[in-house]
Amino acid sequence: MDFRPLTETERKHLITALRGNAQDGLAVLMDRQTTSFLGTAEEVPDEEVINAIRSVPCHY
């Protein structure tokens, strides 16, 4: 088993992804062969977007 420290960029990406998962529900993606961190899912579910559109508040 090989361990290596994360690069600074990798570390920032991972922290941001974990924060996005905790705060915004973004999926954290994992490489299915190496189990390494791949990023976060960019696609947004239909109902999330449509509900946001249908709840735009009145503007003044």
Select 2 or 48, whichever has its Cβ closest to other proteins: 48
Do residues 37 and 13 touch, judged by C-beta distance below 8 A? yes
Q: Tokens 């090989």 belong to which residue?
A: 2
33 is a contact residue toward other proteins (CB under 8 A)? no
Residue 1 C-beta: closest distance to other proteins, Å: 24
Q: Considering only CA atoms, which of 11, 9, 32, 13 is closest in space to residue 21?
A: 13
Positions in the binding site for other proteins (CB under 8 A): 9, 12-13, 16-17, 20, 23-24, 26, 29, 38-44, 46, 48-60
